[in-house]
Chain A
Amino acid sequence: MKMTGAQILCESLLREGVEVIFGFPGGAVLPLYDTLPQYPGLRHILVRHEQGAAHAADGYARATGKVGVCLATSGPGATNLVTGIANAYLDSSPIVAITGQVARPFIGKDGFQEIDITGITLPITKHNYLVLDVSDLASVVKETFHIARTGRPGPVLIDIPRDVFADEASFHYPEKVNLRGYKPTLDGHPAQIRKAARLINEARSPVIISGRGAIISGASNELKELAEKAQIPVVTTLLGIGSFPQTHFLSLGMLGMHGMACANLAVSASDLIIAIGMRFDDRATGKVSEFAPNARIIHIDIDPAEIGKNVGVDVPIVGDVRSVLEALNKEIATKTHLDWVNQIEQWRSEHPSTAIRETDELIPQYVVRKIYEATNGDAIIVTGVGQNQMWAAQHFSYTKPNSLISSGGLGTMGFELPAAIGAKVGRPDETVWAIAGDGGFQMTIQELATITQENLALKIAILNNSFLGMVRQWQELFYGRRYVATPLSAPDFVKVAEAYGISAMRVSDKREVVPAIERAMAHDGPFIIDFRIEPEENVYPMVPPGASISVLLEEPREMVKVEVGSRDTSNL
């Protein structure tokens, strides 16, 4: 039986298990929108700006582990997706972006709303397609989902001319894909795994650095087994938060620029780093030439191009984290590192990075901590970018994979609201809190209308300091307190919420924090709290940009150089 391109696309999406599409219509995708009502299994969620569609697909993908789908028309619809696609690319999030294109006879003629979106997204997609023949469409969709979700996941874009949606072809969905140039390595090389096991068995002060790759491959149990069997402390990257329970005695929390002091000190003093599904981002390593000077490095990643990119590696292992750890755990000896663990405990007590200072002021760390207590940690936290993101990362204890959803690589302000929409749509039974800043919140504030239209029971905490806070912090610390373009006026968020039909309240007094959070949680539907926090509160600890992560800026505001001392590495 013949089908139109639009029908073939919908049939193919259903076969890939798609249930939700975040989109915004327009001329080039009208034939597709006209077909959507024939497919009630595809729920369409209308966003208010295409950037929101891409972030929502990203948030959905991270919360569910499935592929998120966003849809936009040609031209401006497609270019509005770009930030969201780039965000998904840098954080290895599997999304599929479908864009309409002008009809084939108009391609290359600068037609109305024509833009070369496959050209524009070339460096920010894992792969992309321009479908010029309707009979290719089914196999393109098959390949697209395969590429998006396997190996190192990432965004894939399909650009479909308007007349291809209307063309007809017979529909055969391919059983499998055959891509000569795409065969991810899943199992680690046995000799390398044995070599890694030997280093682990010999190490005296080992540290695991776990990243988002551990979450993507579902390796939390294997990671825990490795850490416990060989008694290895675990630090995570920002996006690795949740791969290892932060309540575990071997958990040191996040490393890097705003990482926990004990995590940074442990990494700096370690004699062996086991880097798992992470990519040595500069925010994690600090000054790379002084990163972990005494350590050998085992690097496990599914992407061969990440190995040796930023730091030299002693034992590279290309493969799926879970598969590699399963094999590695069989080779390692049961061991303790009591001196090392005690040393780290001493650092932890000397530098209590998660301690919240005693004050009557309304400080953001306290707000985050109270959200943690009110939810018992059983929530998905979606953050913006900047101070709010770091406080959310530092003062909530995450125990489950994908419980923190945050824009790591691209650092996209405005990510929080649409990504939280995606998370809530994908995991409707979970409590989802968006933690926003007053700056980023204004970047995607229009998605409040999406929340109202879909009646999504999101809880939103705005940490409102009337500044672009992280930039202001840098201006305070490194630019002589010259606050250029960071003081920020905002609308009355409570009134804005009301205008969108969302319940909201303002909190300016510390004593109101807990009742407000409880009220938000008890409210049946979305709720916004505008927390008027201490305007010049800073995020600590902080590693000054360009410094080694063993150099810590802590409260009180002075530079503390922590000498970790040289360690005996003669047994290596």
Chain B
Amino acid sequence: MATKHTLVALVEDKPGVLNKVASLFRRRGFNIESIAVGHTEVPSISRMTVVVDGTAQSVEQVRKQLEKIIEVVKVSDITEDNLVARELALVKVKATPQTRSEIIQIVDIFRANIVDVAPGSVVVEVTGDEDKIDSLFSLLEGFGIKEMARTGRIAMGRGAKETK
């Protein structure tokens, strides 16, 4: 049965690595739902968090294929782990003097922030898991969404153990 999997790849910070990883998913017939890349506590190592849809067996196959890339140090499927998973979104919402306070109320409930106010719009910043961002989005949709940007998921196991 196909389900969403969260893979964490620790890779050497070298040109072309993102291309290699992304291209491997394409070659093996996977659709990347989201991918987030950034630095880690180790200089020269980057961390990629990739969300893909697939059966446990096919994701395990692609995980092993990823580990064959020379610059890929380690790939873990952390789907089953006890996770902290977060995503950040910026949403530009239409706002009039009449709707602005209602928008602020919703933003407060979600413990999100308004990071920009202009005549006719506000920019909302929200972090959380996908469901939280999706719910906020659906509530703000009624006001008119002009633009949205999401980072994709980053994730980390809870507890003292490291993803190594």
Contacts and interface: CB of A to CB of B under 8 A. Distances in A.
Interface of A: 118-119, 122-123, 126-127, 147, 179-182, 303-305, 308-309
B57 interface: yes
Interface in B119-151: none
B19 A181 contact: no
B61 A181 contact: no
B71 interface: yes
A127 B16 contact: no
Contacts of A303: 68
Interface of B: 11-12, 16, 19-20, 23-24, 27, 57, 60-61, 64-65, 67-74
A123 B61 CA distance: 16
Contacts of B27: 123
B23 A123 contact: yes
A305 B19 contact: no
B70 A181 contact: yes
B64 A305 contact: yes
Contacts of B65: 305
Those 9 A-B pairs whose CB atoms lie nearest each other, nearest first: A305-B64, A181-B73, A127-B70, A182-B70, A180-B73, A305-B65, A181-B72, A304-B64, A181-B71
B16 A180 contact: no
B24 to A, nearest CB: 8
Contacts of B19: 119, 122
Contacts of B69: 181
Nearest to A318: B64
Contacts, number: 37
Nearest to A179: B70
A416 B64 CA distance: 33
A314 to B, nearest CB: 15
Contacts of B73: 180-181
Contacts of B23: 122-123
B64 A147 contact: no
A126 B20 CA distance: 11
A308 B60 contact: yes
Contacts of A126: 68, 70
A122 B20 contact: yes
B77 to A, nearest CB: 14
B60 A304 contact: no
B135 to A, nearest CB: 39
Contacts of A147: 70
A304 B75 CA distance: 13
Nearest to B15: A130
A357 B60 CA distance: 49
Nearest to B16: A118
Contact of B11 (A118, A181, A309): A181
Nearest to A309: B61
23 contacts: A118-B16, A119-B19, A122-B20, A122-B23, A123-B23, A126-B70, A127-B70, A147-B70, A180-B12, A181-B11, A181-B67, A181-B69, A181-B70, A181-B71, A181-B74, A182-B70, A303-B68, A304-B64, A305-B64, A305-B68, A308-B57, A308-B60, A309-B61
B61 A308 contact: yes
Contact of A305 (B12, B16, B61, B74): B61
Nearest to A143: B70
Nearest to A123: B27
B18 to A, nearest CB: 12
Contacts of A122: 19-20, 23
Nearest to A303: B68
A123 B25 CA distance: 11
Given A119-B19, A181-B11, A182-B70, 15 more contacts: A118-B16, A122-B19, A123-B27, A147-B70, A179-B70, A180-B12, A180-B73, A181-B12, A181-B67, A181-B72, A181-B73, A181-B74, A304-B64, A305-B61, A308-B57
A47 B75 CA distance: 42
A304 B12 CA distance: 21
Contacts of B60: 308
Contact of A304 (B11, B57, B67, B74): B67
B26 to A, nearest CB: 9
A181 B67 CA distance: 8
A102 to B, nearest CB: 18
Q: Which of B24, B60, B67, B70 has the most CB of A within 10 A?
A: B70
A118 B17 CA distance: 12
Contacts of B57: 308
Contacts of A182: 70
A150 B159 CA distance: 38
A305 B64 CA distance: 5
A305 B27 CA distance: 15
A115 to B, nearest CB: 16
Contacts of B61: 305, 308-309
Nearest to A151: B68
Contacts of A305: 61, 64-65, 67-68
A44 B64 CA distance: 38
Contacts of A308: 57, 60-61
Contacts of B72: 181
Contacts of A118: 16
Nearest to B23: A122
A308 B61 CA distance: 8
